[in-house]
Chain A
């Protein structure tokens, strides 16, 4: 009798432990950054359109396969207007503005606060006109 109760208790305890683990894992996963990979080849972003949720960290892994440097700058219209005439040779101070040297990979994590859309652009001379523009659609 005692043996049966002990077995039942053990089973219940195991079930609770498993469920707790699953729940904890789910909570942890919900806080893991979403990873989006972007490749730069022949001075074009691929993909050039991504969708991310608002309020959740998103890690962009950007691989530059070109033999020239590129930038990945994401932001609103005012941000891009500022960079079109900017003179910073290298960007590494903000997660939304990074330089990816030739044939290297960079990671950056960004949390988009609100819904809507923003552009990511390479602002090195001539690169935007050549088509180095992409869109981030931010969903609520």
Chain B
């Protein structure tokens, strides 16, 4: 039943990934891809950042797009994961369908999924992916990448420093395309990965998407957020700053049911808010991450967004002189008024109540 339900979508997806056939690198959402020669080729990607009960569930996918050899990826994480496991089979595809519904007679065009020295906290193998959770600064991550045969692109030192100042936790993924072939993985086959991270408030790394790209190059990705209530985002996705709000509404019951029934997705609550943020800008625009306040307080963190570094003193805004004078004027008027009332009050006579 489930197979039939997603059959049309699967067909659409397979057609959509035809565009990846000529590519020689796999793709990982919200990660900077690094080839052995430093080349980076990140295509459009899809990620779910779900947040419920203080846990961020980060679901993303690697897509086998042909070629051979090994490729890697570095993804900054907001905290130390408690688990890194194979993700569900249809979560990402179902989210895409929710916000880009498949037309009844238009299945082929729908569902656009184009396609050391650091401390190793966790090592997990999922299909042809070797995933390692690393703890360390930019130098540590650089050393780890070198010792594993990966060359970081020239902007990596600055980008890694940008992340390490807030969280020194990174997910390194080494993808062995030869192993994927041996496993019989077909072009376009994805390996979903589900990372569970306890954190006070989630954030989604966006700047890493621009890793290795020239400032004028286009970066495109879809980020889905599933939160208990409508989240406050920083920066606000205005559409003119490289990110755009494509969907913001209460999640449908059918979506939540479908997501809940996928592998490892039983954390999905019975009611939630679905937000879709489309990343569609130049690499030069993406100098920030997406901070999310899912608490309802409406105060997403400037630190999480990368606008302010931790510990930085935010200068108080200079006093508004006009307002200050106006306030002093009102106080003065009030005092004069009180003095006049006191002066006008009769000094003789019986007080009220006598």
Contacts and interface: CB of A to CB of B under 8 A. Distances in A.
A67 B141 contact: yes
Interface stretch (B85-93, B154-162, B339-347): B154-162
Interface residues of B, number: 22
Secondary structure at the B interface, as helix, strand, loop or mixed, is: helix
Task: State the main secondary structure of chain A at its contact with B.
Answer: loop
Interface string B143-177: 10010000111111110110000000000000000
A120 B138 CA distance: 26
Contact of B142 (A102, A125, A126, A127): A102
Contacts of A66: 142, 157
Given A67-B160, A102-B142, A102-B146, A124 B154 contact: yes
A124 B152 CA distance: 11
Contacts of B309: none
A129 B214 contact: yes
A133 to B, nearest CB: 12
Interface in A102-140: 102-103, 122, 124-127, 129-130, 132
B142 A68 contact: yes
A132 B214 CA distance: 14
A67 B139 contact: yes
A52 to B, nearest CB: 26
Size band of the interface chain A makes with B: 10 to 19
Interface in B52-107: none
B241 interface: no
B217 to A, nearest CB: 11
Interface of B: 37-39, 138-143, 146, 151-158, 160-161, 212, 214
Kindly list the 8 A-B residue pairs having the minimum CB-CB distance in the complex, ordered from nearest.
A67-B142, A43-B154, A130-B154, A125-B38, A66-B157, A67-B139, A42-B158, A127-B154
17 contacts: A42-B158, A66-B142, A67-B139, A67-B142, A68-B151, A68-B152, A68-B154, A68-B156, A102-B143, A122-B154, A124-B154, A125-B39, A125-B151, A126-B38, A126-B39, A126-B212, A130-B154
Given A68-B146, A69-B146, A102-B146, 14 more contacts: A41-B157, A67-B138, A67-B141, A68-B142, A102-B142, A102-B143, A103-B139, A124-B151, A124-B154, A125-B37, A125-B153, A126-B38, A126-B154, A130-B153
